[in-house]
Amino acid sequence: MALINYRKAINDALAEEIMRDENVFIIGEEVAEYNGAYKVTEGLWKRFGDKRLVDAPISEAGFIGLGVGASMLGLRPVIELMFWSFAFVAYDQIVNNAGCVRYMSGGLINCPIVIRGPANGGTNVGATHSHTPENILANVPGVKVVAPATAYDAKGLMKSAIRDNDPVFVMENTLLYGEQWEVPEEEYLIPLGSADVKREGTDISLIAHGRSVLIALAAADILAAEHNINAEVVDLRSIRPLDEDAIVQSVRKTHRAVLVDENKPFCGVSAQIASMLQEKAFDDLDAPIGRVNTLDAPAIYSPPVEKLQLPNAQRVVSKALTVCA
C-alpha cells in the first residue's frame, strides 16, 4: 500500500487509463500545460502530449459538446470542469445528447464520456461556484453519478468510469484533494453501483456520500465515545446506480437511519433514499428517518457562516441522538 492523496489517486487513474487505451484523452480549461486548476492532471501533458491532454477555452458548452461527439465516434474523453456549477451552461449537451443518445439510437450509439470536477461548498467561493448537482444529474435516465470519499475510492471509481460505455459524472470535493489514504500499488477497479460499509455498527446507520462520509465517521466516533451508541457508516460511493440492497441491509440491522449529504434538502439525494427506505424497510424502522443536509439557501460567501450552513459532525450527532431517543 502507498500513502497518497486524493488528487494523486485520480492522477494515477487517468495516467493508467491513457496508457491502457489509446482512445482516452483529457480536455478542459488549463488541464494540459498548466497542470489543471487543482493540479489533478499535473505532469500528464509532459508525459502524453497534446493529443491526449487538450487545453480548452472557457466554453463548457463547446468542449463538452466536442467530448460528447467524440465519444459517439468511439473515443473516451475525460472532461474536467473547474466547478460542476459551470456544467449548467452545457446542460443541453449533458442531458439531451449524452444522456439520451443510446436510448434514442436504439442502443446503436454509446456515449462513453466522463465529466469530472469539484461539486462542493466550504471553500468560500460564493453561490455560483458551490453547487452540488449530483441529485439533478442522477435524475436523468441513462447516466451514472459517483462521489468518491477517499483516495482509494477515487482511483477505483475513476478507472471504472472511464471504461464504462455510458456517461459517468464524477463528483469530487476540493477539500479532499490534499487528504491522504492508503491505496494499493497494483491495479484495481471499483464497480459502479457498489456501496461500502466504512464502519460497522449496530445501533444506527449513518448513510452518506462524498466528503459527508468523513463527517459521518467523525460523528460515529463522538456517538461511541460520549453516548455509547454504535453507529454504522455506509458510503454510497455511487449515486446512480444506487446500491439499494446495501442500504436496506444496514437499516435492517440497526433499525434507525440518519442520511447525511451536502445536497440541499429539497429533492436531494437523501430525499430519494428516505423514500426508498419507506418502501423497502418501513417495518424494520424503530424511529423516523433523520436527514442532515446543507441549509436550504444559496451558498453563503462568509467563511464562518458557510461552515454553519454545511453538514458537520455535531449536527449529525444531534440528529442521531434524536433518532435514538
Active site residues: 60, 129
Q: Cell 417495518 appears where?
A: 283
Residue 273: which of 213, 230, 202, 209 has the closest Cα? 209
Q: Torsions phi, psi of 47, nearest 5?
A: -80, -40
Half-sphere exposure in the Cβ direction for 321 (13 Å, CA)? 13
CA angle 115, 311, 314 (to 5 degrees): 150
Distance CA 83, CA 242 (A): 24
CB 196 within 8 A of CB 237: yes
CB 75 within 8 A of CB 51: no
> What strands lie across the sheet with 257-260, from one edge to the other?
196-199, 231-235, 204-208, 257-260, 290-292
Helices 244-254 & 269-280 angle (0-180, nearest 10): 60
- DSSP class per residue in 260-313: E-SS-STT-HHHHHHHHHHHHSGGG-SSPPEEE---SSSPP-SHHHHHHHS--H
Length of the chain: 325
